[in-house]
Amino acid sequence: MHRFLFNSKRLKRMTACVLCAALAAAVPISAGAQNKSKKTDTQQKLEDTQNEINSLNQQMQDTQSQIDSLNQQKGVMEEKLSGLNQQLSDISAALEQTQSDIEKKNQDIEDTKAALAEAGQRADTQYQDMKLRIQFMYENGDNTFMQLLFASDSFSDFLNKADYVEEITAYDRQMLDEYRQTQADIAAQETQLEAEQAQLVGLEQQMSDRQNELSSVIADTQTSISQYTASISDQQVVADDLQRQIAEQQAYEQELEAQKAREDAARLAEIKRQEEELAAAKAAAASAGNSGTPVSAAAGDKELLAALIYCEAGGESYEGQLAVGSVVMNRVSSSAYPDSVSGVIYQSGQFSPVASGRLATVLGSGLTSASCSQAAQEVLNGNITNGYLHFRQNNGLIEGAVIGNHVFY
């Protein structure tokens, strides 16, 4: 087994750095590591809660839009119903008036028929009176009227023939004319009343049909309004439930924000403490110097370390390659990490080339550069160029020593 020696002065400086390294031992650091800090559990819960609130607010907005739309449609239907009710009221009033007019026409027709019957009765009476006068004339020796009377088929026929008889009195002729005119007038009036009655009956039927139609449309409209009302009620229940959930999530958000504030304060205090310890460790390391006392390392560590340096800083300057190797050796000396080169390199979640399989490929092929092998040899010999335990790609967000494309801290 090969043995490589560390400088004892360098060992003292590394031992001082271990004080601050132990505070961040759980943080995986490598050139391939992510640049963003890992979110805390509280921060993740807070983001999830805020996302949930946003989702609930969107659902609330959608639900309120549906309620507004339903209310608008309900308003249109209510306005339509108001118009239909007014039409129904108007048609019902008109129908009632028409029915009253029909009853009046029926009464007028009955009165006309009575008048016509009365006129006929008067004509019969006049006829009997004329017969008496003719009988009187006969009894007084005038046979002409008796012959006309018995030769006529009817009273009207007799009167027509009597037109030629000069002996008929002017009174009888006047009464005859009045009877004829009265009969004609009454018959014409009856015909007109019956026609008007037929028109009113037809109008009544139209109004009744329209009334039934409006009643049907009103019933359908009322059903639609009831459905809109039920839908609005259902959506309002959904909105109330969403509002309750939003209130609960907002209260939870406030709790998480308060918890996060406490955790941030504690973290800042811890960072400040670590920075103070790191400063003290760096000062101790700087005063310790480099005594050149050797420390042993296992066989095969040089090849493993050279392969890691090649994966992490193969394209960097020699100074950068020494810096990467120094971080590995600083961890070997830290109680917060494994106490061997292989243990540090293969520690879970620490170096991305290990996780990706690139380190194994480089080891299997043996394709490392001479500078990487030399840098590995130097740090194994104790030439540690820094007291840092971490490095990553320099993104400008982390304070530390910038060497090449990496920042060391």
Tens-of-pLDDT digits for all 409 residues of the chain?
333 333 433 444 444 444 434 434 333 434 333 333 456 788 898 899 999 999 999 999 999 999 999 999 999 999 999 999 999 999 899 988 998 998 888 988 888 888 878 877 877 787 787 777 666 665 655 556 566 666 777 767 766 666 655 555 667 677 777 777 887 888 898 898 889 889 889 988 998 999 999 999 999 999 999 999 999 999 999 999 999 999 999 999 999 999 989 988 988 888 777 667 655 655 554 454 344 444 455 668 899 999 999 999 999 999 999 999 999 999 999 988 998 999 999 999 899 999 999 999 999 888 889 999 999 999 999 999 998 999 988 887 777 889 988 989 8
Asked if 170 and 202 sit in the same domain, the reply is yes
Asked if 28 and 120 sit in the same domain, the reply is no
Asked if 228 and 111 sit in the same domain, the reply is yes
Asked if 17 and 138 sit in the same domain, the reply is no
Structurally, the chain folds into a number of domains equal to 2
Asked if 219 and 104 sit in the same domain, the reply is yes
Asked if 27 and 106 sit in the same domain, the reply is no
Contact 344, 270 (CB under 8 A): no
**Looking at the domain assignment, is residue 49 inside a domain?**
no
CATH of the domain at 173: 1.10.287
Asked if 206 and 147 sit in the same domain, the reply is yes
Asked if 27 and 103 sit in the same domain, the reply is no
With 0-12 / 13-18 / 19 or more C-beta atoms within 10 angstroms meaning exposed / middle / buried, residue 85 is middle
Asked if 23 and 80 sit in the same domain, the reply is no
Q: Which of 198, 217, 239 is the last residue of a domain?
A: 239
Q: Which of 195, 224, 239 is the last residue of a domain?
A: 239
Residue 17: what pLDDT? Answer: 42
Asked if 230 and 345 sit in the same domain, the reply is no
Asked if 222 and 334 sit in the same domain, the reply is no
Residue 400: what pLDDT? Answer: 84
Q: Which of 194, 210, 239 is the last residue of a domain?
A: 239
Residue 275: what pLDDT? Answer: 65
Contact 239, 57 (CB under 8 A): no
CATH of the domain at 395: 1.10.10.2520
**Looking at the domain assignment, is residue 48 inside a domain?**
no
Tokens linked to 303: 């090849």
Residue 147: what pLDDT? Answer: 67
**Looking at the domain assignment, is residue 285 inside a domain?**
no
**Looking at the domain assignment, is residue 190 inside a domain?**
yes
At 312 the three-state DSSP class reads helix
Residue 204: what pLDDT? Answer: 87
> How far, in whole angstroms, is CA 12 from its chain's centroid?
67
Q: Write a three-state SS string for 173-228.
A: HHHHHHHHHHHHHHHHHHHHHHHHHHHHHHHHHHHHHHHHHHHHHHHHHHHHHHHH
Contact 341, 332 (CB under 8 A): yes
**Looking at the domain assignment, is residue 232 inside a domain?**
yes
Domain extent, residue 173, equals 57-239
Residue 82: what pLDDT? Answer: 93
**Looking at the domain assignment, is residue 244 inside a domain?**
no
**Looking at the domain assignment, is residue 254 inside a domain?**
no
Asked if 33 and 62 sit in the same domain, the reply is no
Contact 24, 388 (CB under 8 A): no
